[in-house]
A and B are shown apart, each in its own frame.
Chain A
Amino acid sequence: MKKNLLVLTGLLIVLTMILSACAAPAAPEEPAAPAPEEPAAPAMKTPVEVFSWWTTGGEANGLQKLIDQFNAAHPDAEVINAAVAGGAGSNAKAVLKTRMLGGDPPDSFQVHMGHELVDTWVKTDYMEPLDDVYSTYGFNDAFAPGVLAIVSYEGKPYSVPVNIHRANVLWFNKAVFEANGLTAEDVSTFEGFKAAAEKLNAAGITPLALGDNGPWAATHLFETVLAGTLGAEKYIGLWDCTTDWNGPEVKQALENFKMMLGYINEDHTALSWDQANQQVIDGKAAMTIMGDWANGDYIAKNFEGYGWASPPGNTGIFDALSDSFGLPKNSKNPALMKEFLGVLGSKQGQEDFNILKGSICARTDCDYSKFNAYLQGSAEAWKTDTIVPSLAHGAAASEGWLTSINDLMPTFVTGGDVAAAQAALVQAAADSGACK
């Protein structure tokens, strides 16, 4: 009996050793595993892992198109699309952070250009500069100077932007607007919005649809109100605190925000942004303020009776955000990845991608004849309007600051305490360390 136990123990120890010895070399072998499934392909394809939160509809198809382009040109490599689902990257970012902190970065990952890129990853020394990619592919001339400034830190670019989205668009149901004698111009001021909303309320229609199941949607609405109340210059000043968060303009913005929140759907906390958009499609609600990915939602749902306008006070302001891809330090295939980044920034790549994604190119030389009417208009506005960075989508403020603002939204949306909200905004700005 004792002997048996000893033998068993010995076996266990040996097994443990074998297992632990296996653990290290097992990892690099893993990517080769799919090989037996496709015997025709060359035995060893170098995997290049691209990490994003694009899992559905046009954005996933757009990314796949870019991957196909790259794979066609590189028979020896294979792009692995490591996407994690979840709106605005909420889940993907969590997975990414554990991987980056744990020293297992993907070869490239999706990141909003602006403070999300710079404050979270560049200043903390997690990223490789991409000046060689920019010079090799001529990106320095291809992207607008404003875009170059946003993706750069201390004079070097750190990511390749693939698109530009506009956050401040007011979408409305044309039939509902017509039936109530309203036009896009009517809602271009806060007073006009209020009058229109009263009219719609009287007609039994929800004036403004909101889906703040994720608090970012409320922040998104708030940033358009901030920009609309303060104007572009003072709005930009908020993010380095040259505009006073404790001032009367921010108070006025909160009052305007509160006024608009008086006209939203009752079940807003139960809905996501696209479910709120559905209320506009169904004609239950007249308007919603959402980024121009809503345009893709209308197309996907075969709805044509929609119109767009500037949210109150936002005429001539382009509230921008951009998805970009960077190169983490210690990635496994930096050389191949740089070529993939070249595809992402190419004219062909950006045109193919953005038609499907429903956004405009970060490059200035795209041919918009194949794009739909909204995007053609957006591309024009991109050239003429004043560009301001989006708060809710990582361009204007660090992730910590944004989270603090997101955190005060649920309380303000239900409670509407302007003084408390402004105090919290002041505190959040002070905590962020962006104000010196």
Chain B
Amino acid sequence: MHWRLNRDRLTAILVILPSVIAILVFVYGFIGWTGWASTLNWNDMMPIPKGAILPKADFIQLDNYIRLFTVDQRFQIDLRNTIVFTVFFIGSCLFLGLGLAVLLDQKIRNEGFFRSIYLFPMAVSFIVTGVVWRWLLNPGSADSPVGVNQLLVNLGLPFLQSKWYTNPQALFILPDSPVGQFLHQVGLSAVTTPNFGISVAMLSVVLAAVWQMSGYTMALYLAGLRGVPDELREAARVDGANEVQIYQQVIMPLLRPITLSAVIILGHISLKIFDLISAMTGPGPAFATDVPAYYMFDTVFRGNHFARGAAIAIILLVSVAVLVVPYLVNAIRTEVHR
């Protein structure tokens, strides 16, 4: 195709140019800056010369990254926590969101009322959620429980009390259990340490996050369910499918794109989560609720380890990109096909 600069094209280019420049500078420029900073030995406060954008620090290649993955205990715990949080957060949100959406789709009375109730937590910021759940899940002590624990005692269910986010333990596969022994034999004995366990305290944070985001997932699914034409259900019924089969064979496959979108949206929230952790628990006992984004803040602004923080930022960027880029590529490809 011959490309000519006519008036129409010129106008189009001029119109998008300001935002393209802004994005180049403020998004990609700063990503580049962070990447560059992460290769410097800028792990203390240093003067930035006038006119320069980085201090004169030694270039140390990937040492900051190597340090994070080899000697830095806290970062490795953070990675474990992020995986635990992501899996439980996305899983619970999808399960609850779909469940609520299916229930609301049964043409019940006052649907709008319930829809709003389930959706409202999303309108609250993670900071508010964090503070409130911090109070609710404060365990108090055995003699004088507070918050949810007190409620459980008053309901006559004291055995359900928990240490919530103050629990330093991790659930992991015991080395002398049958599964642990099998793992040991196949050379995976590292998996039978707390480093590969599920931090119990993190599940309290998951509880708060799910409270906030499951309503949003419900809204996504509800929109998807409304998009399923009644004709398809009717046709399935005519073919002799019962209600369960209709959901299994007809509706669920049609909701797959919704599930994918929900996983992408929830996934990028959970990988980058900072505000909820910061307001609710901080790093927690033995870093049980610490996440990379929180560590990044700590190490940069409290410890002056700017380059190490930049390295964490780049690792977070890559991990989100791994999740989002295939989705974008797929989305663009299907659009072109249309």
User: A94-B301, A413-B285 are known contacts. Are A126 and B47 too (CB-CB below 8 A)?
Assistant: yes
Q: Does chain B have a CB within 8 A of A120?
A: yes
Which stretch, A2-10, A139-147, A155-163, A310-318, touches the partner chain B?
A2-10
Residue contact A400 to B18, C-beta cutoff 8 Å: no
Residue contact B11 to A2, C-beta cutoff 8 Å: yes
Residue contact A13 to B302, C-beta cutoff 8 Å: no
Residue contact B304 to A101, C-beta cutoff 8 Å: no
Q: CB within 8 A of B45: which of A119, A265, A267, A270?
A: A119
Q: How far is the CB of A74 from chain B (nearest CB, A)?
A: 32
Residue contact A414 to B285, C-beta cutoff 8 Å: yes
Closest partner residue, chain A, to B286 (CB atom)? A414
Contacts of A267 in B (CB 8 A): 138-141, 163, 166
Residue contact A270 to B47, C-beta cutoff 8 Å: no
Q: What is the CA–CA distance of A197 and B140 in the complex, to the nearest angstrom?
A: 20
Q: Does chain B have a CB within 8 A of A410?
A: yes
Contacts of A126 in B (CB 8 A): 45, 47
Contacts of B140 in A (CB 8 A): 267
Q: Does chain A have a CB within 8 A of B181?
A: no
Q: What is the CA–CA distance of A51 and B304 in the complex, to the nearest angstrom?
A: 19
Closest partner residue, chain B, to A329 (CB atom)? B47
User: A267-B166, A410-B286 are known contacts. Are A403 and B303 too (CB-CB below 8 A)?
Assistant: yes
Q: CB within 8 A of A403: which of B18, B45, B299?
A: B299
Residue contact B45 to A121, C-beta cutoff 8 Å: yes
Residue contact B18 to A16, C-beta cutoff 8 Å: yes
Contacts of A410 in B (CB 8 A): 283-287
Residue contact B303 to A400, C-beta cutoff 8 Å: yes
Q: How far is the CB of B71 from chain A (nearest CB, A)?
A: 8
Contacts of B166 in A (CB 8 A): 266-270
Residue contact B285 to A93, C-beta cutoff 8 Å: no
Contacts of B165 in A (CB 8 A): 269-270
Q: Does chain B have a CB within 8 A of A124?
A: yes
Contacts of A413 in B (CB 8 A): 285-286
CB 8 Å contact bits of B88-100 with A (1 = contact, 0 = none) = 0000000000000
Contacts of A16 in B (CB 8 A): 18
Q: How far is the CB of B322 from chain A (nearest CB, A)?
A: 28
Interface residues of B in 102-121 (CB under 8 A from A): none
CB 8 Å contact bits of A268-308 with B (1 = contact, 0 = none) = 11100000000000001000000000000000000000000
Q: Which of A2, A399, A406 has the most CB of B within 10 A?
A: A399
Closest partner residue, chain B, to A265 (CB atom)? B141
Q: What is the CA–CA distance of A120 and B301 in the complex, to the nearest angstrom?
A: 11
CB 8 Å contact bits of B30-63 with A (1 = contact, 0 = none) = 0000000000000111111000000000000000
Residue contact B287 to A5, C-beta cutoff 8 Å: no
Q: Does chain B have a CB within 8 A of A411?
A: yes
Residue contact A266 to B141, C-beta cutoff 8 Å: yes
Contacts of A71 in B (CB 8 A): none
Q: Does chain B have a CB within 8 A of A189?
A: no
Q: CB within 8 A of B44: which of A215, A400, A414?
A: A400
Contacts of B65 in A (CB 8 A): none
Contacts of B299 in A (CB 8 A): 403
Residue contact A404 to B303, C-beta cutoff 8 Å: yes
Residue contact B302 to A93, C-beta cutoff 8 Å: yes
Q: How far is the CB of A36 from chain B (nearest CB, A)?
A: 33
Contacts of A246 in B (CB 8 A): none
Residue contact B283 to A206, C-beta cutoff 8 Å: no
Q: Which of A213, A284, A410 has the most CB of B within 10 A?
A: A410
CB 8 Å contact bits of A12-25 with B (1 = contact, 0 = none) = 11001000000000
Closest partner residue, chain A, to B15 (CB atom)? A9
Q: What is the CA–CA distance of A125 and B284 in the complex, to the nearest angstrom?
A: 36
Residue contact A97 to B139, C-beta cutoff 8 Å: no
Q: Which of A266, A269, A406 has the most CB of B within 10 A?
A: A269
Contacts of A104 in B (CB 8 A): none
Q: Does chain A have a CB within 8 A of B168?
A: yes
CB 8 Å contact bits of B258-289 with A (1 = contact, 0 = none) = 00000000000000000000000111111100
Q: CB within 8 A of B286: which of A121, A124, A125, A411?
A: A411
Q: Does chain B have a CB within 8 A of A255?
A: no
Q: Does chain A have a CB within 8 A of B297?
A: yes
Q: Does chain B have a CB within 8 A of A214?
A: yes
Q: What is the CA–CA distance of A43 and B44 in the complex, to the nearest angstrom?
A: 43
Contacts of A414 in B (CB 8 A): 168, 285-286
Residue contact A124 to B11, C-beta cutoff 8 Å: no
Q: How far is the CB of B162 from chain A (nearest CB, A)?
A: 12
Q: How far is the CB of B16 from chain A (nearest CB, A)?
A: 10
Q: Does chain B have a CB within 8 A of A90?
A: yes
Contacts of B44 in A (CB 8 A): 119, 398, 400, 433
Q: How far is the CB of B244 from chain A (nearest CB, A)?
A: 44
Residue contact A400 to B282, C-beta cutoff 8 Å: no
Q: How far is the CB of B60 from chain A (nearest CB, A)?
A: 14
Residue contact A407 to B74, C-beta cutoff 8 Å: yes
| A-B contacts, 25 listed (Cβ < 8 Å) | A2-B11, A5-B11, A6-B7, A9-B11, A9-B14, A90-B302, A120-B45, A213-B282, A215-B283, A266-B139, A266-B141, A266-B142, A266-B166, A267-B141, A267-B166, A270-B134, A270-B139, A270-B164, A284-B144, A398-B44, A399-B302, A399-B303, A400-B43, A400-B303, A411-B287
Which 10 A-B pairs rank lowest in CB-CB distance, beginning with the nearest? A403-B303, A94-B301, A414-B168, A414-B286, A269-B285, A125-B47, A269-B166, A414-B285, A270-B138, A120-B45
Known: A269-B165, A406-B302, A414-B285; 12 extra A-B contacts, CB below 8 A, are: A5-B15, A6-B11, A266-B142, A267-B138, A399-B302, A400-B303, A403-B305, A404-B303, A410-B283, A411-B287, A415-B286, A433-B44
Which residues from chain B sit less than 8 Å from chain A, CB to CB? 7-8, 11, 14-15, 18, 43-48, 73-74, 134, 138-144, 163-166, 168, 281-287, 297-299, 301-305
